[in-house]
C-alpha cells in the first residue's frame, strides 16, 4: 500500500501552495542565523590556524608529536609564565603587566593544546577570555569566595550535598587549564593537590550509610586529573554500593586537554556502567577534531555525554553563537544539557551577563533548532539552594476552561483545558 491519493487536484494545489508559503516563512526565520554563521568560528573553520600555532608552540617547548599526544606532557608543560605566553600570543606591555598582577592573586595555567586554540583569536577572543587573566579580575569588589555556600553543605569530608538523592565528591583541585570564570577558584591554591586517600574513604563511608543517595558526581577541579588507577578504585567502590544507581564524572579535559581520553582510560570506564560525563564546551571553536575523537572513544566505552555551558559575556552571550555551539555538539554526539548563568564568584564579575541575555538565547533556540539542541537555562540559587530553571513565558494565562499559550513564533493560541 502506498500513501493515500487526494483526487481533488484543486484542493491538493491549494494545500501545496499553503505549504510552500509556509516553507518560505520558515526559511526567513533562520536567514539571520545562516548569515551570522559565516562569521562564527568553529573547530574546523580555524583548523589551519590552530595547526600553525600548534607547530609554533611545539618548537618553543622543544616537543615532538609524541609529546603533543601525551596528556602528562601537557600537564607538565602548562603555560603559567608571562614571558612564555608572550612567545605564543601578541600582547602589549600593559597587558603583560596586568597578567602578572592578577597572577599574584589568582592562579592561572593553560595547557599547550588550549593555548594553540587561544592563539588563533588572541587574548580578546572567546578562548583567550576564558583562559588568560584579565585586570578586571582585580576590579571585582562584589563577588563572593563561595556563593554556593559549599562550605555549609559539606556533611562529610570531600562531600557537597545540596539535593535529596545525589551528591558531589570533590577529588582534586587540579585542572589542565584554570578557567577564569571558575566557581571554585578558592580551592585552586598555589599547588596541585588530589584529595588524600583517607578523605576519599570517609566520603565513600558517608555514601554507604546514606541509602537515599542514588547518584554520585565525581568532580573537583577536574575528575580526570586523577590517575587511571585512582579513577578505577573510586568507581569500583561506588559500584559496590547497592543504592548508588549511576555515577557521573565532571571534566573539562575533553575541551582543554582531549589527549587525556586515552584508550587505557576508556577501557577502565567501560567496566563501570552506567556512567555519565558532563563537560563544558562554551564556544563552537572548542569543538575540534581532537575533541570529537575524544568523545567518540568515550561513547564506544559506553559513556553518556552531556554539556554544561556557562553563559559568559563576550564569549557566548549571543543567540547565534549558542545555537551554533549546540548544533556542533550534537554532531559529535554530546547532548546540550545546561546553560548555567555565571555565578557571582570573586574576580569573575566581568563575565556575568543579564538574565535577559539568557532568556533571549532560550527564546531563539526553542523552535528554531532541534529540541535536542535546546538545553535548560539554569540559575543556581545563592546559598546552595540548588538549580532553578529559567524559561521564556509560554503560558500566558490559564483557568479551569482554557490555557492561553505563546508559541515559539509568539503566536497567542487558546488551548482547551480538559480535566
Residue 6 has pLDDT above 80, yes or no: no
- 5 confidence band (pLDDT: 50, 70, 90): low
Residue 25 is assigned to a structural domain of this protein: no
Are 401 and 374 in a shared domain? no
Residues spanned by the domain of 351: 150-385
Same domain, 103 and 162: no
What is the structure's pLDDT at 255? 98
Burial, 296: exposed, middle or buried (Cβ in 10 Å; 0-12, 13-18, 19+)? middle
Q: Are residues 206 and 344 in the same domain?
A: yes
| Residue 218 sits in the same domain as residue 81 | no
Identify whether the C-beta of residue 325 lies closer than 8 Å to the C-beta of residue 287. yes
| pLDDT tens digits along 32-50 | 999 999 999 999 999 999 9
Give the Å distances, CA to CA, from 333 to 14, 202, 303, 339.
40, 36, 11, 17
Question: 274: cis peptide before it, omega within 30°?
Answer: yes
Asked, for residue 296, whether it belongs to a domain, the answer is: yes
pLDDT at 257 over 90: yes
For residues 358 and 245, state if they share a domain: yes
319 and 347 share one domain:
yes
- In the prediction, which pLDDT does 4 show? 62
Could you say which of 126, 142, 169 is where a domain stops? 126
* In a shared domain, residues 312 and 215: yes
Residue 61 lies in a domain: yes
CB of 284 closer than 8 Å to CB of 325: yes
C-alpha cell at 383: 546559598
pLDDT value at residue 381: 87
In a domain, 137, yes or no: no
Rg of the chain (C-alpha set) = 24
pLDDT at residue 386 in the model: 86
Decide if pLDDT at 75 tops 80: yes
- pLDDT of 388 above 80: yes
- The pLDDT of residue 329 is 98
For residue 70, being part of any structural domain is answered with: yes
- Examine residue 36 and state whether it is found in any structural domain, yes or no: no
334: nearest Cα among 290, 383, 281, 380: 281
* 185-216 residues labelled b (16+ CB within 10 A) or e (exposed): bbbbeeebebbeeebbebbbebbbebeebeeb
Q: Are residues 194 and 57 in the same domain?
A: no
Is there a domain that residue 8 lies in?
no
CA dist 49 → 34, 52, 121, 231 (Å): 23, 5, 9, 35
Does the pLDDT value for residue 7 go beyond 90? Answer: no
Tell me if 143 is assigned to some domain. no
**Domain containing residue 282: CATH number:** 3.20.20.70
pLDDT of residue 145: 78
Query: Mean pLDDT for the chain?
Result: 94
Section 122-143 average pLDDT: 93
**pLDDT higher than 60, residue 1:** no
Answer yes or no: are the C-beta atoms of 347 and 137 closer than 8 Å: yes
pLDDT at 212 over 80: yes
Q: If pLDDT is split at 50, 70 and 90, which confidence band does 205 have?
A: very high
Residue 143: the pLDDT is 81
The total domain count for the chain is 3
Give the pTM.
0.94
pLDDT digits (tens, 9 = 90+) for 84-108: 999 999 999 999 999 999 999 999 9
Question: For the chain, how far is it from start to end, CA to CA, in angstroms?
Answer: 39
Residues 290-312, mean pLDDT to the nearest whole number: 98
Q: What CA–CA distances, in Å, run from 247 to 130, 235, 277?
A: 28, 8, 9
pLDDT of 136-172, one tens digit each?
A: 999 887 887 777 777 888 999 999 999 999 999 999 9
Clarify whether residues 256 and 114 are in a common domain: no
The conformation of residue 99, written as its DSSP 8-state character, comes to H
Say whether both 248 and 356 belong to one domain.
yes
**pLDDT of 306-362, one tens digit each?**
999 999 999 999 999 999 999 999 999 999 999 999 998 999 999 999 999 999 999
Q: What are phi and psi of 60, to 5 degrees?
A: -60, -40
Query: Binning pLDDT at 50, 70 and 90, where does residue 68 land?
Result: very high
Which of 126, 159, 183 represents a domain boundary (last residue)?
A: 126
CA dist 143 and 125 (Å) reads 24
**Contact status, residue 312 vs residue 181, Cβ threshold 8 Å:** yes
User: What pLDDT does 12 receive?
Assistant: 72
Q: What is the pLDDT of residues 222-253, one digit of tens each?
A: 999 999 999 999 999 999 999 999 999 999 99
Amino acid at each position: 500500500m502506498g500513501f493515500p491519493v487526494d483526487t481533488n487536484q484543486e484542493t491538493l494545489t491549494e494545500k501545496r501552495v499553503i505549504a510552500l508559503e509556509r516553507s518560505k516563512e520558515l526559511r526567513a526565520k533562520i536567514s539571520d542565523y545562516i548569515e551570522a554563521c559565516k562569521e562564527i568560528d568553529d573547530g574546523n573553520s580555524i583548523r589551519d590556524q590552530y595547526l600553525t600555532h600548534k607547530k609554533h608552540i611545539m618548537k618553543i617547548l622543544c616537543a615532538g608529536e609524541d609529546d603533543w599526544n601525551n596528556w602528562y606532557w601537557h600537564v607538565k608543560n602548562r603555560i603559567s609564565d608571562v614571558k612564555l605566553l608572550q612567545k605564543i600570543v601578541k600582547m602589549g606591555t600593559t597587558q603583560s603587566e596586568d597578567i602578572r598582577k592578577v597572577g599574584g592573586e589568582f592562579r592561572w595555567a593553560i595547557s599547550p593544546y588550549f593555548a594553540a586554540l587561544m592563539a588563533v583569536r588572541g587574548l580578546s577572543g572567546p578562548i583567550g577570555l576564558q583562559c588568560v587573566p584579565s585586570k578586571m579580575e582585580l576590579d571585582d569588589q562584589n563577588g563572593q569566595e563561595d556563593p554556593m555556600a559549599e562550605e555549609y553543605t559539606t556533611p562529610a569530608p570531600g562531600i557537597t550535598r545540596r539535593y535529596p538523592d545525589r551528591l558531589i565528591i570533590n577529588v582534586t583541585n587540579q585542572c589542565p587549564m584554570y578557567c577564569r570564570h571558575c566557581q571554585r577558584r578558592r580551592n585552586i591554591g598555589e599547588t596541585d593537590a588530589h584529595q588524600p586517600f583517607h578523605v576519599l574513604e570517609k566520603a565513600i563511608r558517608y555514601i554507604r550509610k546514606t541509602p537515599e543517595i542514588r547518584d554520585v558526581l565525581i568532580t573537583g577541579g577536574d575528575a580526570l586529573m586523577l590517575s587511571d588507577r585512582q579513577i578505577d578504585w573510586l568507581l569500583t567502590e561506588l559500584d559496590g554500593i547497592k543504592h548508588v544507581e549511576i555515577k557521573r564524572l565532571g571534566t573539562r579535559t575533553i575541551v582543554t586537554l582531549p589527549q587525556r581520553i586515552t584508550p587505557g582510560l576508556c577501557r577502565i570506564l567501560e567496566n563501570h556502567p552506567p556512567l555519565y560525563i558532563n563537560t563544558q564546551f562554551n564556544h563552537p571553536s572548542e569543538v575540534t577534531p581532537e575533541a570529537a575523537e575524544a568523545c567518540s572513544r568515550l561513547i564506544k566505552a559506553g559513556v553518556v555525554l552531556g554539556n554544561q555551558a556557562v553563559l559568559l559575556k563576550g564569549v557566548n552571550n549571543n543567540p547565534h553563537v549558542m545555537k551554533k555551539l549546540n548544533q556542533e555538539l550534537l554532531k559529535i554526539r554530546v547532548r546540550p544539557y545546561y546553560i548555567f548563568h555565571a555565578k557571582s564568584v570573586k574576580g569573575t564579575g566581568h563575565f556575568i551577563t543579564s538574565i535577559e541575555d539568557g532568556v533571549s538565547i532560550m527564546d531563539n533556540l526553542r523552535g528554531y533548532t532541534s529540541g535536542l539542541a535546546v538545553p535548560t537555562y539554569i540559575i543556581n540559587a545563592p546559598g546552595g539552594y540548588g538549580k532553578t530553571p529559567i524559561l521564556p513565558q509560554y503560558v500566558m494565562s490559564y483557568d479551569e476552561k482554557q490555557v492561553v499559550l505563546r508559541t515559539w513564533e509568539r503566536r497567542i493560541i487558546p488551548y482547551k483545558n480538559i480535566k
